[in-house]
Chain A
Amino acid sequence: MSHHAPLNEDIIPGSDVSRDLSDETLMALIQKQDQNAFAILLQRHSDRFYSLAYRTLFSQSDAEDVVQECFLKLWRKPDIWKADSKATFTTWFYRIIINACIDKNRQTKPVTPYDEVEILDENSDSFERLSSQQQEDIRQKRLTLALQKLPERQRTALNLCFYEGLKNQAAAEVMDINLKALQSLLMRAKTSLKNDLAKTQGET
Chain B
Amino acid sequence: MSIDDPELEKQLISLSVPKKSPLLEQNILALATAEQSAQDALKAKSVAPQLTWASFFRSIFSAPQVAMAFSVILCCGLWMGWSLPTDSTGLLIDASTIELASNGNTTSFNYDDFVSSDGIYEGDLF
- Interface residues of chain A, those whose CB is within 8 Å of chain B, are 4, 6-9, 33, 35, 38-39, 42-43, 46-47, 50-51, 54-55, 60, 63-64, 67-68, 71-72, 75-76, 136, 139-140, 143-144, 147, 161-163, 165, 168, 186, 190, 193-194, 197
Give residues 1-50 of B contacting A (CB, 8 Å): 1, 3-5, 8, 11-12, 14-18, 20-21, 24-33, 35-37, 40
Q: Could you tell me if A140 and B16 are in contact, using CB atoms closer than 8 angstroms?
A: yes
Shortest CB-to-CB span from B33 to chain A, Å, is 5
Total contacts A to B, CB within 8 angstroms?
89
Beyond A140-B14, A190-B4: 18 further Cβ-contacts under 8 Å?
Answer: A4-B36, A7-B29, A9-B26, A38-B29, A39-B29, A42-B28, A50-B17, A50-B20, A50-B24, A54-B20, A67-B24, A72-B31, A75-B35, A162-B3, A163-B12, A193-B8, A194-B5, A197-B11
- Name the prevailing secondary structure of the B interface residues: helix
| Shortest Cβ distance from A168 into B: residue | B1
Nearest Cβ in chain A — how far from B72, in angstroms?
Answer: 49
Residues of A within 8 A of B35 (CB): 72, 75-76
